[in-house]
Amino acid sequence: MGHWRREYWTEHTGDGRLPWRSSLLVAVFAQAAGGWVHQLQPGREPLDALGRLLLLLGPALLLLRHRHPVPVLYGVCAVTLAYLACGYPYGPVFLSVALACLAAVVAGHRRAAWAAVGALWAGHLLIGHWLYRWLPPPGDGPAPWGTEGGITAWAIAVLAASEVVRARREQWARDRAERRAAERRRVDEERLRIARELHDVLAHSISVINVQAGVGLALLDTDPEQARTALTTIKAASKEALGEVRQVLDTLRAPGEAPRSPAPGLDRLPELVAQAAFAGLTVSVEGEDAARGLPPGTGLAAFRILQEALTNVVRHSGSRTARIRIRITRPPDALELRVDDDGPATGGDAGGSGTGLIGMSERAAAQGGTMEAGPRPDGGFRVLARLPLGNTAPGEDR
């Protein structure tokens, strides 16, 4: 069924090619069956040169049915009426009408298709019950009402089948559009994930490097040993950033493969604390036991949220001796992170892109959680994130 569908719509996509295969098949079938149906209808006129020409003219018009569906349909109906008016036998001539009607309905010309088929039915009724007196075959009587019933049923069936095909084609088009939209969404989400990872890695490391570079320059002449410590911190932060950037880029080079190193989690929280301490901040952590046994996705989100929160303090705090309190708790079925910064905000441009808080919110939302950030009533700044854990008990390894 799928193979037939692909072949049919390859011929019916309006790509400029003529549907000569199906038109040729109709023409061959009409010519071959024309003589056979005359044996079943001995009272009709035998096929002569004119009859065979009319049987060829319908399929010839079908070659243009995708470019000009309405004119072709009316032309095929006119040829069919001429064929019936000449008294030739019923049969394969109606196949051209069916294909022309299908093309018109699928192209969206439903009213024109119903009008053309209705005109054909009315013309046949006129020929069979009034004009037959002056038309071949000689001495013919009015058409039996049983024949009229068959023609009526055939016309309704052709129109109904065309509507079904149109509906199915529209459904296939919607399905293809939905698949393309879903693929675009997946690509966009992956692009956003990679951009968020790079932002979090680079923003934190470069902020630490910027602070330590300033310390090193200020103390280069007066305290060379402290300047050396600052340079050592810069070297460690840059090495860590290069490693994480390389891990992110590896996912681009080999999509679908397992990463070569595990994603960072809260087991690396001591590294964040140490880097903040090198930047002159005082960081205290409560509830480190609650950070154990987290699912990888939750652990990565929690690590990046804390990393960005510390980066914002390094960037924006007006005091390089600001105190930061990190509190990690496990309320029922959740992980809660709270970061309190006691240092006053500078209110100036710290060189950030303004996407840090947005990135934290997106990470929390991606895990089905929430994130709030803002000034505290007693001064300073607070970041509060809540990530769901399902039925994981505290300390349970998943």
Tell me the whole-structure pTM to 2 decimals: 0.53
Q: Omega of the bond prior to 59 within 30 degrees of 0, cis?
A: no
C-alpha 185/C-alpha 189 separation (Å) is: 6
Contacts of 384 (CB under 8 A, 6+ apart): 336, 337, 338, 339, 371, 372, 373
E strand or H helix at 21, and its extent?
helix 20-40
219: amino acid identity, one letter: L
- Average pLDDT rounded to a whole number, residues 67-87: 95
Dihedral (Cα; 53, 57, 60, 65), 10-degree rounding:
-170
Predicted confidence at residue 103, as pLDDT, reads 95
pLDDT in tens, 164-183: 999 999 999 999 999 999 99
Q: Phi/psi class of residue 287: alpha, beta or left (left: φ > 0; alpha: ψ in -120 to 50)?
A: left
Report the Cα–Cα distance between both ends of the chain, in Å, rounded: 45
* Mean pLDDT for all residues in the chain: 81
Predicted confidence at residue 344, as pLDDT, reads 57
Q: Which structural domains are found in the chain, ordered by start? A: 2-143 (no CATH), 266-398 (3.30.565.10)
C-alpha 308/C-alpha 118 separation (Å) is: 71
pLDDT in tens, 266-322: 888 888 888 777 777 888 999 888 888 888 888 888 988 998 888 888 776 544 557
339: amino acid identity, one letter: V
Buried-exposed string 130-145: b where 16+ CB fall within 10 A, e elsewhere: eebeebeeeeeeebee
- Number of helical (H) and strand (E) elements in the chain, helices listed first: 11, 5
